């Protein structure tokens, strides 16, 4: 695994520290696709004419683009899809008004002037809070290529002269003139003279950014970056809870956030408006979209299941209907060394409720600006072209489909479906499977871009040593370095099976002092120094506070667990049987058992369907055999090599802890009659918290609302073949000695 090389990154902070934020926020910003100057009176006339005939055919006029938010709103309100839905709803004026208020509530008001204002504020905040913001330069080059711009190898030149009144005035004037003057020497990007792009906007890329979601900052950072690099600002899908932020929500609106309800499956009117609103952006191609495929901020810092499939479906439907010729999906991984709201997350997981989004909460949070949050690294995945992905998928599925052809249960061909209506069931089976596969692929791509920060390694070391020596809560830096080597250097091969693009952020030359200083300054609430180079946890004695502390460690450890999950399952299966040998078949059964057990806990590159034969199994097994961690007894039986027990347990430890936490949860008296998962989770959590013990890491894990709900979902999803008692039985069998011990303890 390679260490981060700052040369491959642009540092946004470095540039800004040397120059004026004000001038930067007033810099020339030029949409590479559209030339606003062209919007003459003549094309205004064109707009009216098109709206006149919009009921007949709506050609998209280059001259009318990019639309402002008002035009987008009225486009949606006047859309045939909405008209159709209103008709099906009975065409009452009430629904009409409702539609208007929905769109009012949803729509963004992206405009460059407010974006500048926010850019100014956030450049101040970022400079304060972050040491570095590294942007993956290759990713930016790739974006530039998509927009047919010439990448500039330097950071944008920001006027570094002291702010004079005249220069400020000039900059302000510049902002208010609708377009940037081309004479400006400051233009960093010049359009390539490609025969296509200069001529037709139609070839402008339809880009969808798909970042990971770990923090509120995710909303800002991409827009901030786009502003910096002069590429179109995205429209961001945000959850409606944010509307509680009042003024701030409005500011977010002005830099492109639009707000959607959490669930509206049954609300046809809302669905139509949402669907149309998303599509209109892609069809016209005037703004790229950005949404979080995980659907929510991951409190655990682990990848969540890609649940935002409704949004993805709406986007892809534009492609399936061929209203756009292709879509470009860009998975992005935003990595935080220290997550802004890690305290909140830890509390929330332990059942302390998330404070409602409010202004007062916001003011309180302002004090966090005094802290440092280390380095943020934004990495871009390779763009996924939907056309290529779908063609490939079709080819793979060809054989399967032919056998399942049922002429009495046909799906309506795309060519026959009306394109103007909002269809909830327009997707055929193939397309649905594709959406599913694609969404897993996206999160997988995001996972592949993970950055490992020192805190992850430290958390790993701490937590794995925890069960063994509960009273001694310190760990030497030597141990951290050793663990880092075991995990990420020795086993870089296995990590690279998974991804060659994971990188580790580590002080150069393994500088211990540097690392120590860094950890102490960033995580002053977690660590203390004790003795010579020993890190010590700040344990208070208060049950809940200590638990939150450990929970934070668990969270940071989570960021890298997906790298080890599958290979570790093999070791885990061997390890529990360490006395006896284990047969190939048995090993495989256990391996698949774990994959299914943790289907919601750890996200893989595909949804683990029952009885799926995992292709990586043999690969991982051979790897461990080559490493001598496992050796052959005879042809098809294996045994773990006890010489490497320490390394093995380092790797398997987290998973063992999770498995035991699951067992603990399953051992609770179950009242599975309750159907609502969230209610059920709360009930379980309450029960588990009564027996809470902050000394026991498994106990903490089992009290985490996330782990509980994942464990319960596993129960629900697995079909009748795996009932609760069965899972419990297998788990008990594997971890028997401990579970007996635990029972005694409880």
Partner 1 sequence: MSTEGKGEATTTTASPTIPLHRQELLKWQGWGYRDSRFFINSNGLIEFSGSRYLLSGHVLPRLKDWMFNKLNSSIENYSPCVQEPNPDFIADPILNNEFISDFQSTLGTTIQYSVDKNDRLFHGHGHTLEEIWKLRHGGKFDRLPDWVVWPKQHSDVEKIVRLATKHDICLIPFGGGTSVTWALTCPTNEKRMIVSVDTSQMNKILYLDEKNLTARIQSGIIGQDLERELGKKGYCTGHEPDSMEFSSLGGWVATRASGMKKNVYGNIEDLVVHVTMVTAKGTIEKSCLGPRQSVGPDIHHFIMGSEGILGIVTEVTMKVRPLPACKKYGSIVFPDFECGVACLREIARLRSAPASIRLLDNEQFLFGQALATDNKGMLHSLVDNIKKLYITKIKGFDINRMCAATLLFEGTTNEVNQREKFVYDIAQKYNGIPAGEENGLKGYTLTFMIAYLRDIGLDYRIVAESFETSVPWDRVIDLCRNVKKRIITECEKHGVKYPPFSSCRVTQTYDAGACIYFYFVMNYNDIRPGSDPVHIYELVEQAAREEVLANGGSLSHHHGIGKIRTKWIKQAVSNLGVGTMVSIKQYLDPNNIFGSKNLIPESTESEEHLKAKL
Q: Which residues bind partner 1 (CB under 8 A)?
A: 40, 42, 46, 49-50, 53, 56-57, 59-62, 195-196, 199-200, 202-203, 322-323, 325, 405, 407, 414-415, 419-420
Token couple for 552: 């934070």
Residue with tokens 């450890």: 557
Please name the residues in contact with 67: beta carbons below 8 A apart, sequence gap of 6 or more.
75, 284, 286
Nearer to partner 1, 62 or 497 (CB): 62
Please report how close the Cβ of residue 46 comes to partner 1 at its closest, in angstroms.
7
Question: Edge-to-edge, what's the strand order for the sheet holding 451-452?
Answer: 2-3, 503-504, 451-452
Nearer to partner 1, 363 or 408 (CB): 408
- Residues 232, 219: Cα–Cα separation, whole Å: 15
Nearer to partner 1, 197 or 446 (CB): 197
Nearer to partner 1, 78 or 517 (CB): 78
To the nearest 10 degrees (0 to 180), the angle between helices 584-597 and 617-626 is 120
Q: Where are the beta strands (DSSP E) in 589-636?
A: 630-634
Nearer to partner 1, 387 or 631 (CB): 387
Please report how close the Cβ of residue 430 comes to partner 1 at its closest, in angstroms.
13
Nearer to partner 1, 120 or 201 (CB): 201
Please report how close the Cβ of residue 41 comes to partner 1 at its closest, in angstroms.
10
Paired strand residues for 290: 209, 236
Residue with tokens 């006029």: 61
Nearer to partner 1, 158 or 430 (CB): 430
CB 474 within 8 A of CB 537: yes
Please report how close the Cβ of residue 199 comes to partner 1 at its closest, in angstroms.
5
Residue with tokens 């327009």: 426
Please report how close the Cβ of residue 436 comes to partner 1 at its closest, in angstroms.
20
Residue with tokens 């993970």: 450
In 378-491, alpha helices (H): 386-403, 429-448, 454-466, 477-484
- With 0-12 / 13-18 / 19 or more C-beta atoms within 10 angstroms meaning exposed / middle / buried, residue 415 is exposed
CB 431 within 8 A of CB 444: no
Give the max Cα distance, the chain: 84
Please name the residues in contact with 160: beta carbons below 8 A apart, sequence gap of 6 or more.
18, 19, 20
Nearer to partner 1, 44 or 741 (CB): 44
Please report how close the Cβ of residue 195 comes to partner 1 at its closest, in angstroms.
5
Nearer to partner 1, 278 or 565 (CB): 278
Please report how close the Cβ of residue 47 comes to partner 1 at its closest, in angstroms.
12
Task: State whether residue 357 is helix, strand or coil.
Answer: coil
Please report how close the Cβ of residue 433 comes to partner 1 at its closest, in angstroms.
17
Please report how close the Cβ of residue 141 comes to partner 1 at its closest, in angstroms.
19
Please report how close the Cβ of residue 419 comes to partner 1 at its closest, in angstroms.
6
Please report how close the Cβ of residue 13 comes to partner 1 at its closest, in angstroms.
39
CB 248 within 8 A of CB 365: no
To the nearest 10 degrees (0 to 180), the angle between helices 93-106 and 80-88 is 140
Containing 697, the helix (H) or strand (E) segment is: helix 697-703
Nearer to partner 1, 420 or 497 (CB): 420
Task: State whether residue 236 is helix, strand or coil.
Answer: strand
Paired strand residues for 336: 376
CB 238 within 8 A of CB 294: no
- Residues 82, 77: Cα–Cα separation, whole Å: 7
Task: State whether residue 36 is helix, strand or coil.
Answer: helix
Please report how close the Cβ of residue 75 comes to partner 1 at its closest, in angstroms.
16
Nearer to partner 1, 211 or 285 (CB): 285
CB 179 within 8 A of CB 36: yes
Task: State whether residue 104 is helix, strand or coil.
Answer: helix
Residue with tokens 């409602």: 356
Residue with tokens 């256990």: 590
- Residues 109, 276: Cα–Cα separation, whole Å: 17
Nearer to partner 1, 412 or 469 (CB): 412
Nearer to partner 1, 59 or 470 (CB): 59
Please report how close the Cβ of residue 317 comes to partner 1 at its closest, in angstroms.
13
């Amino acid at each position: 695994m390679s260490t981060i090389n700052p040369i491959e990154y642009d540092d946004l902070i470095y540039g800004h520290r040397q120059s004026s934020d004000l001038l930067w926020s007033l810099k020339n910003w030029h949409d590479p696709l559209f030339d606003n100057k062209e919007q003459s009176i003549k094309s205004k006339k064109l707009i009216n004419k098109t709206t006149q005939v919009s009921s007949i055919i709506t050609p998209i006029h280059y001259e009318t683009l990019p639309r402002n938010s008002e035009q987008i709103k009225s486009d949606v309100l006047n859309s045939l899809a909405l008209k159709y839905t209103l008709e099906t709803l009975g065409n009452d004026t009430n629904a009409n008004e409702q539609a208007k208020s929905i769109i009012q509530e949803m729509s963004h008001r992206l405009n460059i002037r407010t974006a500048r204002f926010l850019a100014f504020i956030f450049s101040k905040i970022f400079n304060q809070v972050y040491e570095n913001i590294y942007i993956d330069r290759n990713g930016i080059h790739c974006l530039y290529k998509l927009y047919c711009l010439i990448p500039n190898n330097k950071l944008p030149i920001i006027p570094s002269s002291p702010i004079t009144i005249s220069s400020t005035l000039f900059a302000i004037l510049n902002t208010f003139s609708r377009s940037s003057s081309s004479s400006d020497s400051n233009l960093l990007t010049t359009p390539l003279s490609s025969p296509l792009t200069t001529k037709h906007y139609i070839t402008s890329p339809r880009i969808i950014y798909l970042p990971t979601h770990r923090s509120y900052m995710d909303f800002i950072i991409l827009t901030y970056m786009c502003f910096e690099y002069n590429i179109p600002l995205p429209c961001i899908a945000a959850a409606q809870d944010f509307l509680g932020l009042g003024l701030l929500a409005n500011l977010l609106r002005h830099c492109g956030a639009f707000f959607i309800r959490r669930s509206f499956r049954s609300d046809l009117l809302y669905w139509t408006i949402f669907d149309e609103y998303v599509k209109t952006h892609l069809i016209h191609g005037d703004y790229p979209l950005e949404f979080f495929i995980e659907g929510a901020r991951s409190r655990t810092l682990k990848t969540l299941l890609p649940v935002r499939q409704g949004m993805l479906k709406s986007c892809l439907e534009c492609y399936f209907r061929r209203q756009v010729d292709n879509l470009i999906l860009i998975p992005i991984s935003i990595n935080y060394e220290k997550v802004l709201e890690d305290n909140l997350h830890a509390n929330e997981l332990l059942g302390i409720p998330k404070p409602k989004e409010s202004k007062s909460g916001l003011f309180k949070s302002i004090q966090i600006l005094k802290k440092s949050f280390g380095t943020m690294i934004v990495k871009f995945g390779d763009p996924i072209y939907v056309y290529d992905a779908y063609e490939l998928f079709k080819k793979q599925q060809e054989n399967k489909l032919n056998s399942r052809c049922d002429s009495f249960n046909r799906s309506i061909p795309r060519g026959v479906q009306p394109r103007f209506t909002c269809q909830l069931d327009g997707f055929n089976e193939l397309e649905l499977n594709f959406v599913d596969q694609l969404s897993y692929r996206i999160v997988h791509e995001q996972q592949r871009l993970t950055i490992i920060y020192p805190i992850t390694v430290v958390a790993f070391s701490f937590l794995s040593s925890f069960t063994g020596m509960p009273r001694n809560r310190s760990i030497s830096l030597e141990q951290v370095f050793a663990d880092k080597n075991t995990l990420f250097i020795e086993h870089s091969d296995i990590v690279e099976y998974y991804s060659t693009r994971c990188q580790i952020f580590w002080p150069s030359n393994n500088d211990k002092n540097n690392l120590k200083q860094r950890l102490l300054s960033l995580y002053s609430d977690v660590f203390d120094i004790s003795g010579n180079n020993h890190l010590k946890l700040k344990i208070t004695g208060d049950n809940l506070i200590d638990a939150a502390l450990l929970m934070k460690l668990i969270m940071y450890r989570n960021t890298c667990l997906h790298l080890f999950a599958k290979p570790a399952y093999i070791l885990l299966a061997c390890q529990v049987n360490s006395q006896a040998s284990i047969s190939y078949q048995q090993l495989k059964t256990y391996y698949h058992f774990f994959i299914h057990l943790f289907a919601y806990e750890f996200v893989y590159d595909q949804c683990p369907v029952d009885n799926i034969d995992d292709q990586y199994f043999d690969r991982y097994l051979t790897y461990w055999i080559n490493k001598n961690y496992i050796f052959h007894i005879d042809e098809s039986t294996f045994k773990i090599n006890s010489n490497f027990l320490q390394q093995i347990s380092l790797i398997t430890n987290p998973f063992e802890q999770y498995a035991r936490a699951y067992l603990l949860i399953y051992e609770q008296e179950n009242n599975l009659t309750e159907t609502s998962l969230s209610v059920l989770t709360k009930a379980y959590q309450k029960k588990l918290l009564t027996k809470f013990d902050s000394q026991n890491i498994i106990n903490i894990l089992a009290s985490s609302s996330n782990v509980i709900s994942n464990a319960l979902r596993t129960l629900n999803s697995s079909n009748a073949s795996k009932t609760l008692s069965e899972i419990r039985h297998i788990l008990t069998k594997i971890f028997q000695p401990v579970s007996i011990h635990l029972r005694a303890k409880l």
